[in-house]
Amino acid sequence: MKIKVLDTTLRDGAQSEAVSFSIPDKLKIVRLLDELGVDIIEAGNPFSNVKDREFFRELAGLKLAHAKIAAFGSTRRVGVRAEDDAALETLLAAGAEYVSVFGKAWDLHVSEVLATTLEENLAMISDTVSLAVRRGKRVIFDAEHFFDGYKNNPAYALSVIRAADEAGAEVVCLCDTNGGTFPDEIFDITKAAVAAVRCEVGIHTHNDSGMAVGSAVMGVAAGAAHVQGTLNGIGERCGNANLGTIIANLQLKKGYDIISPEQMERLSPICREVAEITNISIGGMPYVSKNAFAHKGGMHIDAVLKEPRTFEHIDPAVVGNERKLLVSEVAGKSALLPLLRKIDPSIDRGSPKIKEILARMKELEYNGYQFEAAEASLELEVRRVLGMESRFFDIERFRIMMEQDNLSPDSMTGYSTAFTKVRVGEEHEVTAAESLYGPVNAIDKALRRALERFYPSIGRLRLVDYKVRVLDSAAATGARVRVLVESTDGVESWTTVGVSTDVIMASKKALEDSIEYKLIRDGEKQKSI
């Protein structure tokens, strides 16, 4: 059975507290969603703001291979003819093939929010959908608060979706807007809705009770043939149903037809790219995160290398992901061997170097290093033990100066300057950089500026995450700290680690490793050309 997918990352997802899309961000996400095979992209509300109206103008010239664009808006206002409603006219004039129209399905909202009669609400829905159909639009009617409305007044909630169906809606989508309905209730109520209308039924769930994905899956099991969500589950409050997880669950576990196998292999890279655009972490997210198929326990690693099904519910490659074996104090040879062979294919299980490397890893972890979260630093340490370290540069001197930018005792703004002297071969470069964002940012800027002369690709390197953890709080301000730095060059991302009683020195170590790892990867790519 074919299930159609509507992605609302750019509309409902944009209501997430931490997310703000520029028009180039939105255009990039549209292309990624089209590549993934999403059927409908809900692009925003053209009446709500200038940015969305400009975005719809940009979309008019965009050629998509598969996806259709939907504009989102409400039914006509109370007491206003549909033909005279300015917001509705803007929606219909946006140039989208689909319009998503939302209306009230909970009688509480009709009386308390709209302050009108139940009959007028039905007329608002019917008039709006009828006008849109006459104007040549394909209409998706979002029955807002449908599940709460059904539990309060089943007959009225069903009359709402019947009104949209009879007016010509292609889809009536049942919305768990408050996110408080459990999956078993979703199943029963969706089944009743499917029996009540002739058109296609959709499901749209929120995650306020942590049930959004399960509820969406149960809605489809009950007969919904259209599912809505956002990539990575972004959205207002606790977020929307995670569309990436839904797609994988429905197709790989339940056998529904959603996207092609080739598109499924793009699921992890696309979810990660959208996470990069939205500047959110997807660590631990099912199917697509780097942790989704990460193994740390020695016995688990040994088992999964012998038979992947022992600890992996699917082949990671199916969703464009890969297995990750974490080297730590609880892991053994099995975890280390794949990494060693990647660096030096001649190493076998009996090599004495393995014991030497494991001893080095455990010594470093005892001192506060954490390599399961810093795979790039791990590779560099392995290279050092194997005698395969590449010294691209040496930091001969660096100096940090910090000062307060005014005399106010309440000011929290600092002013940092970093001076760096690096040596590459027999040449030296001395560089300074200033920052209002602290000494670590100043070091990062100065170091990259010094090295760009020798390695221009460093210009594409940037930090995407920086974490500091105190390791022995009993030592107070003299405690050791662990710094984790995540970096990207726009194509790949990697994490490095540094540990010291001085947060600046720990940061310097992590930054130094990040640049060295980038240069090693560049060299490997050059050799493969």
The per-residue DSSP string of 359-386 comes to HHHHHHHHTT---TT-HHHHHHHHHHHH
Q: Which two tokens stand for residue 249?
A: 């669950």
Place of tokens 């699917």: 314
pLDDT confidence of residue 271: 93
- pLDDT interval class at 411 (50, 70, 90): low
For the segment 63-118, what is each residue's pLDDT rounded down to a tens digit?
999 999 999 999 999 999 999 999 999 999 999 999 999 999 999 999 999 999 99
pLDDT confidence of residue 26: 92
* Contact of 499 with 483, CB cutoff 8 Å: yes
Whole-prediction pTM: 0.72
CA 408 to chain centroid, in Å, comes to 40
pLDDT confidence of residue 474: 61
Counted residue by residue, the chain has a size of 529
Please state, in angstroms and rounded to a whole number, the distance separating the CA atoms of residues 213 and 203: 11
384-395 average pLDDT score: 84
pLDDT confidence of residue 477: 64
Buried b (16+ CB within 10 A) or exposed e, 348-372: eeebeebeebbeebbebbeebbbbb
For the segment 198-215, what is each residue's pLDDT rounded down to a tens digit?
999 999 999 999 999 999
Task: Read off φ and ψ for residue 170, nearest 5 degrees.
Answer: -80, -35
- pLDDT interval class at 469 (50, 70, 90): confident
Q: Which two tokens stand for residue 471?
A: 């390791």
C-alpha distances out from residue 16 to 19, 69, 280, 479, 520, Å? 5, 21, 11, 36, 38
Whether the pLDDT of residue 428 is over 80: the answer is yes
Least confident of 114-128, 186-200, 449-463: 449-463
pLDDT confidence of residue 318: 96
pLDDT confidence of residue 348: 73
379-383 average pLDDT score: 85
pLDDT confidence of residue 307: 85
For the segment 210-249, what is each residue's pLDDT rounded down to a tens digit?
999 999 999 999 999 999 999 999 999 999 999 999 999 9
Nearest to 102 by CA among 78, 74, 138, 123: 74
Instruction: Provide the sign of the torsion angle of the four alpha carbons 261, 262, 265, 270, taken in this order.
Output: negative
pLDDT confidence of residue 298: 66
Instruction: Provide the sign of the torsion angle of the four alpha carbons 224, 226, 228, 232, taken in this order.
Output: positive
pLDDT confidence of residue 33: 97
Least confident of 311-315, 349-353, 396-400: 349-353
Whether the pLDDT of residue 344 is over 80: the answer is no
Whether the pLDDT of residue 275 is over 70: the answer is yes
247-266 average pLDDT score: 97
Please state, in angstroms and rounded to a whole number, the distance separating the CA atoms of residues 129 and 132: 5
Domains by residue range for the chain, with CATH: 4-259 (3.20.20.70), 294-368 (no CATH), 393-445 (no CATH)
